[in-house]
A and B are shown apart, each in its own frame.
Chain A
Amino acid sequence: MEKADFKVTKEGTTLEVLLGRELSTSNAPALMDELAKYKGQGIEKIVFNATGLAILTSRGIMTVIYAHQRLGSTPEIVFLNCAKEICDVLDHVGLTKSIKFEDDQDKRREYRRAVFSDLDQEETDRISEERTEALDHFEAHNDVVCYSMKLGQEE
């Protein structure tokens, strides 16, 4: 039951890994498999976009070490928009000296837009589902036929 809530994109010799809310045992093995596909491709830099990252466990840290050691070219590791709590975890294990931390406001805004647009869609779907259920319930308990139409739709 692994969640693949990350996205890996390659631009030249740089890999950008867009992380979700967590990098843990639930998704780190899948990310490791994904990163393994770039072995021997001369990757010089891996940017972990941690704008939305709230939970980092040892499995997640293993993935970062793996990315640096096993892709074949000991790429530079960058963490983007890293929350203090995540920096603290990396500090506990002594990795802050080996990682470059950067802040990118554009990426932060981009991430928020993506998250909020997802939430809007989820909210829209939920309301739509509730309306359908209410309509079905009303139809089942009344001697009428109910139907719904989108605006501009012909009968």
Chain B
Amino acid sequence: MATQLHFQPIQGRTMEIINAILHTEEVASATQVMRVIYLVVEEVVVNIVEHAYPEGAEGYIDVEIERQDERITFCFRDGGMPFNPLTHEPPDTSLPIDRRPIGGLGIFLVIKEADAITYDYSDNENVLTVSLQTNKQ
């Protein structure tokens, strides 16, 4: 089964978009990894809403959620500036808390938690696909 969602405009609608994704049938059936799903969805959506489009531009997010056997896959598409999160420099996690920048951990956490993650830029769109195993303990 798969669900496709389209959000436009996106500015000021972060929580609404996150909640719509979390309330899909595919997500509801993956209770064992709900914590990770929540984290992945929030980090990616926040990143697109806040950074993908130039200020004032009316952006969009397309999300496809697919559930297959013991796997759930999220495909996020946006028409914003090309940004490959997989080549983004990771934060220095060896720094003590008093020398940490406040921020920059979102995509890093998604990469850490995902079982598979790919990025592509095609047809003027960023396409980020994140897969999670749903049979984890």
Question: Is the A/B pair a real complex?
Answer: yes
**Residue in B93, B95, B106 whose beta carbon sits within 8 Å of that of A57 in the complex:** B106
A4 in contact (CB, < 8 A): no
A92 to B109, CA, bound (A): 7
Q: Is the CB of A25 within 8 A of B15?
A: yes
Chain B residues with CB below 8 A from A66, complex form: 102
Q: Please, could you name 22 A-B residue pairs with CB atoms under 8 Å apart, sorted by A?
A: A1-B15, A2-B15, A24-B38, A55-B38, A55-B39, A57-B109, A58-B43, A58-B103, A58-B106, A58-B108, A59-B42, A59-B46, A62-B103, A65-B97, A65-B100, A69-B97, A69-B98, A89-B39, A92-B108, A93-B93, A94-B94, A95-B93
A60 to B35, CA, bound (A): 14
A150 in contact (CB, < 8 A): no
Chain A residues with CB below 8 A from B91, complex form: 93
Which of under 10, 10 to 19, 20 to 34, or 35 or more describes the interface residues of A? Answer: 20 to 34
Given contacts A54-B35, A58-B105, A93-B105, contact A24 B42 (CB under 8 A): yes
**Which of A57, A69, A85, A97 has the most CB atoms of chain B within a 10 A radius of its CB?**
A57
In the complex formed, the residue of A with least CB distance to B110 is A58
In the complex formed, the residue of A with least CB distance to B101 is A65
Given contacts A1-B16, A25-B14, A55-B38, contact A68 B97 (CB under 8 A): yes
| Top 4 closest pairs, chain A to chain B, by CB | A94-B93, A98-B97, A58-B106, A58-B105
B75 in contact (CB, < 8 A): no
Q: Is the CB of B15 within 8 A of A94?
A: no
Q: Is the CB of A25 within 8 A of B42?
A: yes
Q: Could you give, for residues 62-78 of chain A, a 1 whenever the CB lies within 8 Å of some chain B CB and a 0 otherwise?
A: 10111011000010010
| Shortest Cβ gap from B7 to chain A (Å) | 15
Q: Is the CB of B105 within 8 A of A99?
A: no
Q: Is the CB of A94 within 8 A of B103?
A: no
A2 to B42, CA, bound (A): 14
Given contacts A57-B42, A85-B35, A89-B109, contact A74 B98 (CB under 8 A): yes
